[in-house]
Amino acid sequence: MIKLHNIEKVYRTDTIETLALSGITLDVQQGEFLSVMGPSGCGKSTLLNIMGLLDEPSKGELTIAGQKIDRLSDQQLAHFRNKRLGFIFQSYHLINDLHVLDNVELPLLYRKVGAKERRRLATRALEKVGLSNRLKHFPTQLSGGQKQRVAIARAIVGEPEIILADEPTGNLDSAMGNEIMDILLQLNSRDNTTIVMVTHDEQMAKKTHRLVRLFDGTQVQ
Amino acid sequence: MLKNYFKIAIAILRRRKFFTFVSLFGISFTLATLLVLTAFIEKIVNDDYPDRKRARSLYLTGVEENGPQMMSSSSFSLSYVNRYIKTLKTPVNVAYYTGRVGTNTYHAGKKIGISFRYVNGSYWDILEFDFLEGRPFTATEVGNREKVAVITQGLKRKYFGENVNAVGQMIEADNQLFRVCGVVKDVPATTYMFNSDMYIPYTVAGNSETGKDFHGEYCAVLLGAAKSDLKAMQTEYDNVVRRLQPSDKGYTRVLSYADVYADAYLRTGNMSKPLKRWVYSIIGGFVFLLLFLPSVNLVNINLTRIMERSSEIAVRKAFGASSNTLVYQFVVENIILTLLGGLVGVVLAMVMLWIFNSAAIFDNVRLQLNPVVLGVGLIACFVFGFISGVYPAWRMSRMTIVKALKA
């Protein structure tokens, strides 16, 4: 599903060059739940961003769902992300000015889905994460765990093939973290969604199919 | 999608009330000023009582003779009118009239200031005065030099009082007695060419109708059968002027023009160097500054606001919004903001016009919003919204998702 070959990422400023990733070659199979671990600054989030087409590699090849990601225009990248990818962020990144239902509908807005259909799909997604009683609430009225559930609903509403989760339980206590993890595991097992998750939590990582460790931008496991 | 953008736009307005106030105030005040200015210009330039045939009229305001050492510029003599204006073939009618003359009279123990003009019989055919009592003076009365007068309602009120029939009564002005033959609705001060308290047959003035002098007190209006006659009337008059010999050997050139109303207005007193280009440049410059400065201000405010929304931008991009989609979103949001400001501006303009009309700064001048003025306002809002939204939106859409998420 996701193929990375010799991926390298260099960040350049006027005076400094930082090698964030070097020689990363990785295959993620369809339906696989992969964890990525490593110390802070090892390049985990950079790797996830590259997989999610949120950032460009400096070198190397990336193929997602059989399509080589190479010199795609801004429009093409946006379309690809919309159709095939879903994102869950550590800080949720919900839009506070929109209520829960509008937040979850966001990906469908860019697919030009009609209002009724958007509503139906978003409601269904929220039911899957157990938040159907919070449709008209605003993010500021929700707990951390609830916010993350909304973020998950947003990520899955378009039924993407791949979900990329950057420390989805990082801002939650252990009880809530376990709840979120259970939802992700369910998505993976029930819907065969490919999930790549960055985490610091060894216990969470053990629940996934495979663990990849990074250290100083290189893969060590 | 537009509903979504509208919700976001309203939510953002509510979020930072101070910024919202500054933005809306800038837009609404600017728009209100523009609307009032447009209403004023429209009042001056467009058809207004009693001059309702401007579209097919040309205005002759004077003649200038100049030479190396001397220059003379004034309205026309009556003999000039008779020889060079009344003889034009293209116009279907010609009105001529003097400038406004002021005088004081005493009646019933009161001092009353009266302004009057001498006019010809065709004056009443070309201009559309609303007669509240009586009628205009006839060609016979003009020919017989009869001391008759048409007065305005305001003068009637001052001289005779309310609820009095003034027709047939005598009124004193310029040490002469005139019989009132008609009372007309007051003329706004902005119709400066025709505004007066009293109108008297020109034959009463006793000006010489012959002679070679060009200079005097008369102006003229040429009426064409249709708007399409304007060019022909101008050409005919230009040809007449071109053939004129200066009235004195010290002059080498004679200048006089038959202009449409706005041009005549701007040429008044300045034949050889008309103010038209200057005035249009000044108005254009003022309008440009009026739109440009608040737009720049709004650009800065929008840049700040948009930077605060970088997380939202990143999420939208992550979930499928292209840069163009985001630019479109922000421009639409900004247009919503400026339209709201525009609505406030229209209300503010109505208040400003009400204050202006109530204060009666200019006699009988009432400004109002009309479709043209509102149309200008609407276009200004869109231009505002677009100009002040597109650059910040473009800047934001260029931000990489990763940087925006970290911001």
CA separation for the pair B322, A156 (Å, rounded): 20
Q: Which residues of B touch A107 (CB under 8 A)?
A: 319-320
Q: Tell whether pTM > 0.90.
A: no
A13 and chain B: CB distance < 8 Å anywhere? no
Query: Which residue range(s) make up the domain with A156?
Result: 2-219
Q: Which of A55, A97, A111 sits opposite B402 (nearest CB)?
A: A55
Q: In this complex, do B319 and A154 lie within 8 Å of one another by their Cβ atoms?
A: yes
Per-residue pLDDT of chain B (407 residues; tens, 9 = 90+): 777 777 777 777 777 777 778 778 888 888 888 888 888 888 878 888 999 999 999 999 999 998 888 888 899 999 999 999 999 999 999 999 999 999 999 988 889 999 999 999 999 999 999 999 999 998 899 999 999 999 999 999 999 988 889 999 999 998 899 999 999 999 988 888 999 999 999 999 877 777 778 999 999 999 999 999 999 999 999 999 999 999 888 899 999 999 999 888 877 666 666 677 778 788 888 877 877 777 787 788 788 877 778 888 889 999 998 888 888 888 888 888 888 888 888 899 899 989 988 988 777 778 888 777 778 777 877 777 787 788 888 887 777 888 777 76
Q: What is the DSSP string of A71-82?
A: S--HHHHHHHHH
CA separation for the pair B190, B364 (Å, rounded): 9
Q: In this complex, do A102 and B1 lie within 8 Å of one another by their Cβ atoms?
A: no
Q: What is the CATH number of the domain that holds A50?
A: 3.40.50.300
Q: In this complex, do B4 and A54 lie within 8 Å of one another by their Cβ atoms?
A: no
Q: Which residues of B touch A87 (CB under 8 A)?
A: 315, 318-319
Q: Which of B316, B322, B402 sits opposite A49 (nearest CB)?
A: B402
Give residues 160 to 219 of A whose Cβ lies within 8 Å of B.
Answer: none
Burial of residue A189, with CB atoms counted within 10 A of its CB: 0-12 exposed, 13-18 middle, 19 or more buried: exposed
CB pairs under 8 A between A and B: 73
Buried b (16+ CB within 10 A) or exposed e, A169-178: bebbeeebbb
Identify any residues that bridge with A68 across adjacent strands, giving them in sequence order. Answer: A63
Q: What is the pLDDT of residues A45-81, one digit of tens each?
A: 899 999 999 888 898 999 998 888 878 888 898 999 9
The secondary structure of residue B89, as a DSSP letter, is S
- Measure A202 CA to nearest chain B CA, in Å: 25
- For chain A, what is the domain count? 1
